[in-house]
Amino acid sequence: MATFKNYRSGLGSVGSYQVSGVPWITGSDNSLIAGREDKIAFPTVAKAITVINTDTDSCDIHVHFNSKILGEVSGGLHYVALNSLNDAMTFACKCKEIYISNPDDSAAASFTVVAELTGISATEMFILTGSGLTDLP
C-alpha cells in the first residue's frame, strides 16, 4: 500500500520560490517625515522586494530589515541608501517585513514598494537578526 504525504507551502518549500510571486504594491507620497521610519509588513512571505525612491526633491531613504530602534541598524550600517529620484534596489530574499527610514533632518520623503509574495504564511517566517542585520561590525 502506498503512503502519500500532504505537501504544503512552507519556508523550505522550493516550489514556493520557483513560481511567479503574487504582485503586491504600496508606497508613501511625501508622508515619511524626517527622522522617522515606516514598517512595511507583507501579508505573506515575500520572495523579492523592490524599493524605489519616488521623492522629487531627492530626499534620501534607507531600506533595512530591522527597526532602527531595536538594533544597531544605523551604527552597523545595515541599510541600503537610495539617494535620488527613481533610485531603486531589488532584494531577492525571503522576509515578512522591511523598514524604510528618512534620515533627513527636515524634508518628507516618498517611496514605492513592489513585492513578489509567496503562498507561505507570514507567521512561519523567523525574525531576521544577527551579523549583517543588527550587530555592530
Q: What is the pTM of this model?
A: 0.89
- Could you count the other beta carbons within 10 Å of the beta carbon of residue 93? 12
For residue 14, what is the enclosing H or E element? helix 14-18
Q: Which CATH class is domain 14-124?
A: mainly beta
Q: Cβ contacts of residue 109 below 8 Å, gap of 6+?
A: 28, 30, 32, 53, 55, 59, 60, 61, 102
Identify the pLDDT of residue 137.
66
- pLDDT number for residue 98: 98
> Structural domain boundaries of the chain?
14-124
Q: Which helix (H) or strand (E) holds 17?
A: helix 14-18
pLDDT in tens, 100-124: 999 987 789 999 999 999 999 999 9
Which cell is 39 given?
514598517
